[in-house]
Chain A
Amino acid sequence: MNQISALFKKEAVESIRNFKLFLLLAVFIIIGIISPLTAYLMPDIMAMVMKDAGIKFELPVVTAVDSYVQFFGNMNQLGLPILVIVTGSILTNEFSRNTLINLLTKGLKRHNVMLVKFLYTILMWTVVYVFGAVTAYLYTIYYWENELENILAAFGLTWLYGIFLISVIMMASAIFRTSFLGVLFTVLGVVIIMIIASIYPMTAEYLPQYLLTSNMSLLTGETGMSDVMPAVLITAGASILIFLLSIVTFNKAVM
């Protein structure tokens, strides 16, 4: 317990000193602002494009749903990649600079290192994601104020997917140890495999990737919570399993 709290403090100080927490916070709040802004400006942008192209049709009225479409789109294209790039080096840094060896030989348990790194990254992700989501939510209710269903659940899906990515980062770090690029490519590979696998409708509903594609239909009420439940359970289970496997791998690793 003592080791865990000391390591936690170390991680907290480190993330503040090397500006990673601040960086993630700023990026996610910017995403939270940009998304409703894009939705708000969309009719004007479309009108301009259509005027140039000589097309004419009635534009649908922008609603709160469009704001969330933008938010989740930005999250997938900007937020999650930046999360992986910024937090991906959390373990590889320690290995490549050999900063863990002294602590480990003095009796620091290896599984404690993994546990704290995992939990702290999740904590960091949760905090920055909540800031981004709340920003987007506040702007959306201020400008459109229509109520949507399952809003917390829809936000929660992307959050859970982030945790899954973090567990993949831990696994890849335990395997590659010093190579940050190895971690990046592993995460990329896992995501690409999931995208390819979700072409088949049979498997699509059970993959973590399904979480990212179904948060909009949850908001509009097209799908209920029970439809995404298999994917949620599988993602949560897979994250825990991958994390446990990464501890096993790290325990066997030669420093």
Chain B
Amino acid sequence: MIINVRELLPFLIPLIIFQLLLMISALTMIVKQRRFKYLNRVAWIIIVVVFNIVGPVLYFVMERK
């Protein structure tokens, strides 16, 4: 493997920023939310943290209508 990380930084920095934005916004909403239509708080937190694009999308679509 001869991948130069510095070369990839222009890709990685914005990518990480956007994924974190998605994750953090979903997490703050999960923490504030009182009642859940499906699953519970802990399950949603795990889903959002583990699946990095699909998790927040699932949360926003299923819990926030």
Contacts and interface: CB of A to CB of B under 8 A. Distances in A.
A108 interface: no
B3 A41 contact: yes
Contacts of A111: none
A18 B65 contact: yes
A23 B65 contact: no
A22 B28 CA distance: 15
Consensus secondary structure, chain A interface: helix
B60 interface: yes
A85 B57 contact: yes
- Which secondary structure dominates where chain B touches chain A? helix
Contact of A19 (B3, B11, B18, B64): B64
B35 to A, nearest CB: 16
A27 B53 contact: yes
A96 to B, nearest CB: 9
Contacts of A139: 10-11
Contacts, number: 57
Contacts of B1: 44, 48
B50 interface: no
Interface string A239-255: 00000000000000000
A153 interface: no
Given A19-B60, A33-B14, A44-B3, A26 B22 contact: yes
19 contacts: A19-B25, A19-B60, A19-B64, A20-B60, A22-B25, A23-B57, A23-B60, A26-B18, A27-B57, A30-B19, A33-B11, A33-B14, A34-B15, A36-B11, A37-B12, A40-B8, A41-B8, A48-B1, A82-B57
Interface of A: 18-20, 22-23, 26-27, 29-30, 33-34, 36-37, 40-41, 44, 48, 78, 82, 85-86, 89, 93, 139, 142
Interface of B: 1-3, 8, 10-12, 14-15, 18-19, 21-22, 25, 29, 53, 56-57, 60-61, 64-65
